[in-house]
Amino acid sequence: MRNWMIAKNGIECPSCRFRFDLWKGGCLHFKCTQCHYNFCGGCKQPFYQGSECAFSDDCGGKGLHAHHTRDCFYYLRDWDVERLQQLLQHNGIEYKSDISEELSGPFEGLFKVQSTTFKMHVVEKTERKEEENTFNEMEDKEFLVRIINANLLDPADLYTDKEMEAELQRWNVTIPEISVEERREAFLQNLQMKIKQEIPLFVNPD
């Protein structure tokens, strides 16, 4: 599974296109060994040092940082596997768990379709050490996030009200107040629409 993850999901520098055959499970901050560009291995957003970032006055006190998009592995790795699967189901992306076959030829076109089937790496967790469980769970998450990103799925579809407020605050978008006559369900739908309209999945903080 891990060899497949590296071969298919290696990280490419958005500046010079040099490719790193690395797994995204660790730190997402990369500095290209060829052009020395600092970027996120998940969403390709640039890293800036403090006040060099033009996005906000608050950036001056942040040190080296990036403004990750909400569909970046930086955020989605904190979701559990079940929630990532739910996002795929919500958008009509079919899947199934299957340990009887290897990940091979049929997966060549996996990331170019809107409805597909993929196989999750499933093992008996009771037979593993705790660190092995964590490692394989992160592999599964990265695999799922790769499908989510390839199909341009928006995590905001499953956001709670607190998550929607946090996303708006993160990008300095004013959070509207709920009116007296507005039902909460309608208000949350408007929040979600505001996020999708004003904060696209591919955001340039400059």
- Which residues does the annotation mark as catalytic? 27
Rounded Cα distance, 168 and 142, in Å: 25
> Do residues 142 and 28 touch, judged by C-beta distance below 8 A?
no
Residue spans of alpha helices (H) in 36-183: 73-76, 81-90, 130-150, 161-170
SS3 label, residue 110: helix
End-to-end Cα distance, the chain: 37
| Cα gap 132→129, rounded to integer Å | 5
Among 96, 101, 75, 82, residue whose Cα is nearest residue 155: 75
Tokens at residue 131, please? 């660190």
What DSSP state is assigned to residue 175?
P
Q: Are 184 and 178 in contact, with CB atoms under 8 Å apart? A: yes
> Residue 69 in contact with residue 152, Cβ under 8 Å?
no
For the CA atoms of the chain, what is the radius of gyration?
19
